[in-house]
Structure 1
Amino acid sequence: MLTLDHYVELNEMFQQEELLSQLLEDSRAAIIVVDQHRHVVFASQVVLDLAGATDIRQALGRAPGDIFQCINANRSGCGKDENCCDCGAFLAIRNGLHGQDTDIECYMSIEADNKFMAKDFFVHAVPLWYKGEQYAILSLQDIGHEKRRRAFERIFFHDIINTVSAVKGLLQLLHEDLDGEHRELLDTVLPHFKLCVDEIKAQRKLMDAENSELELTIEPFSILELLQGLAALMRQSAHCSGKEIRVRADLDLDRLYSDRVLVHRVYMNLLKNALEATAKGGTIHLELAEQDSGFVLHVANPTYMPESVQHQIFHRSFSTKGPGRGLGTYSIHLLCTNYLHGRVWFESHPDTGTVFSVFLPQLYAEASSESISA
C-alpha cells in the first residue's frame, strides 16, 4: 500500500525538475499528473481551486474523481464504480498510461457538503515516461459555462420561434376575415412577421455554424424571388429612408439548390450593410446573374471603405458601428465559405464606392438527402 509520504516525495521530485515544474505551474489550465495506479502525484493550483482543496496533500495519492468528490467515486472509489467505464477522465487516463494522446469531454456529477452540482471538462491527456516510470498528464478545461450557454440558447430559440410563429399563424387566420383597409394593413404587416421568423432562424443557424453544429437543408428555390422579396421589405424599413434600392437581373433565372435560410441571411446582411453605409439620397444597386453553375450577386453602394476598415472587414468582432456589433460581414464570410461552398469578396475605390460580391454554387449533390452536416 503506497503511503501519502510516498506521493509527497514524488511531488517534491516533480517540483525539483525546474523545467517540468515551470511548465505545469505556468499553465492556465488545470493540470494533473497521475501514476500507473491513477493516483495524483502533481496537481496545479488551478486544480486545487476547482476541487476546493486548500493543500496539495489533500490531492496527492488520490484519484481525480476522489479529489472532486464525484458521486461515483463517493460510492465505490474513482475508477471502481460501474459508471466509471464511460467517464471521460477515466478513459483519458487509461489511454495516457498506455501511451496514447486523448481528447475527450468529461461530465462529472459532484456531491460535496450536502450539495449537488455538475462540472463539465474538456480533458486532454498525454503520456509521460519519467525516470523509468509511466505517468499521464491531464489538462482539464472547464467548459461548463459553454455547455450551459448552448443549452439556454437552444431553449430560447425554440421558445421564441414557437411564440412568433403562433402569432404569425393568428394573423394569417385574421387576414381571412378582414377586408378593405384592414386587410391592406395586415398585408403590410405579415411579410415583416415572416421576416422576423426568418431572422430568428438565421441567427440560430449562425450560432450553430460557429459551434460546428450546423445542418444544412438543401432545397430548390427561386433566388430572384428571394432577392426581390428582401429588397421590397427593406424599402419599407427605417434603414432605407431617403435611399433607393435597384435590382437588376434576368427574369428567367434558374432555381438555386442551396439552404434557403442561410442564403437569406447572407443576402440580408449584404443589403443591410450597404444601406447603413449609404447616405440619404444614395442608391444601392443589386445585380444578380448566373455564373459557373451558380449565381453571383453584386451589391454596390456609393461609399468608399478606408483601407483600415478593409483590412479588418471580415474579422469576427470588428465593426464600424460601435461596440457590440460586427457579425455582419463575418457571418457572410463564415456561412459562404464553410457551409454554402461559395466565395465572398469586395472592391472599394474612392471614386466608385464599394461593391461586395458573393458567389453561391448549385449544391445538387447534397439535395438528394433531406439535410447534411457541414
Structure 2
Amino acid sequence: MDTYFAPPERVSVEELEIEIEIVSKNPVMSGLLYSINGLIAILDEHRQIVALNDSFLKMLGIADPSEALGLRHGEALQCIHADDEPAGCCTTKFCSSCGAAIAIVSSMEQNKPSEKICALSANRGDKITDMALLVKSHPINVDKRRFLLIFLQDITLQQQMAALERTFFHDVNNMLSMLLGASELLVAEDPSKLAKTIHQASLRLHREIAIQQCLIQSETCNYRPMRHEITPEKILAELKAFFVNHPVARKKSIEVREGYTDILINTDFSLLSRVLCNMTINALEATEVNGVVKIWIEHEDKNLIFCVWNAQEIPQETAIRIFQRNFSTKEQAGRGIGTFSMKLFGEVILGGQVSFTTSKNEGTIFRFSHPI
C-alpha cells in the first residue's frame, strides 16, 4: 500500500482489541484520561486511537467511544484530506506538512515528546471549518508496549488574533518604512515632490485601518470597496515606489515591465495594492541577495492579469497549502495570513482570481486576474 509520509499498515481487529484492553485496565492511563482537562487521546504504534477522553468525544460529536477507536487522528477529526489515499490519515501528500502528523511520527521515531501546530481543515456538516490545533505527542510504555499520549488544544482564536495583530503592525511598519525613507530624502531633494509621496502614504495608512477591520471579521466581512478608475501604469508606478526604501527589497532589484497605458481598470486601489504588495513581498523574501523580481501585466479578454515572478521554486508540501489560513513555513505565532488575505481581498471583495505556478526551471509566478 502506497504512502506519501508515514507507514500505512494498521493492526488487525483482534490486536486492536488487545491494545484497547491493556490501556483501559491500566490505572495510570485511565487516571490521565479522566483527571486532565483538554482533549486527550492514546494512540498505538500504528497511530490508531485506542482510548480518548470525554472532552475529545464531545468535540468530535460522538456519543459512543467505539466509533472512534481504531481510527487515526485525522480520520476522527474529519480532516478533508484523511481519505485522499487508501491507507488514510498520515499517508497523503498533505500529511508531510501536517503539524499533527509530524509531531506524532517524530515522537514515535525519536521516542521523545514533540509539539507542533496543526492547520486543520475539517468537514463540519455541509461546510469546511479551518482550525489551528496545538498538538503534543508523548511516548509512554504500558505492559512492554509503546503508546502515544496525544494532547490537543484548540488555539484557533489565539492564532487568528496573533496573526491579525502581527499583520496590523507589520503593515503599519511597511507604511512607516516608506515615510521614513521619504523623509530622509526630503533633506537632499525637492521637498514638494516628496511631500506628495508622504501625503499618499498617509492616505493609504488611513485605508489600511479599514482593511484590517475587514481581516478581523473575515468570515462576515462587510468591507465596501471604494472603486475608481486608474491606469495600469499608475498602479505599477505606485507599487514600484512602495518598495524603493523597503527593507525586504534591500540589495535586490525589481524589474517592472510597463504596458497597456490606454486601459482603465475600475478597482479599489488600496485593496489591489495590498494584494500586489503581498505578492511582491513574498517574491522578495524568496529572492537571494542581488537577485531580481519581475513584475508585469497581461491582458486577456476582459481581465488584466498582474504577474510577479521570482526564480525560486516553492516546495510541493508548501505549495499545496499556500492559501490555507493559519498555515505558514515560519514558526512564529501569527503567521499564515498574508497569502490568505490575497484570496480574501482579491477574490471575495474585488471579484478577481489569485493563482500561482511554480517549478525548478521556471521559478514561481503569482498571478492576480482582475476584471477591467
TM-score range, shorter chain: 0.3 to 0.5
Larger radius of gyration: 1
Greater relative CO (CA pairs within 8 A, separation 6+): 2
Which structure carries more helix by proportion?
1
Q: TM-score, with normalisation over the residues of structure 1?
A: 0.47
- TM-score computed with the length of structure 2 as normaliser: 0.47
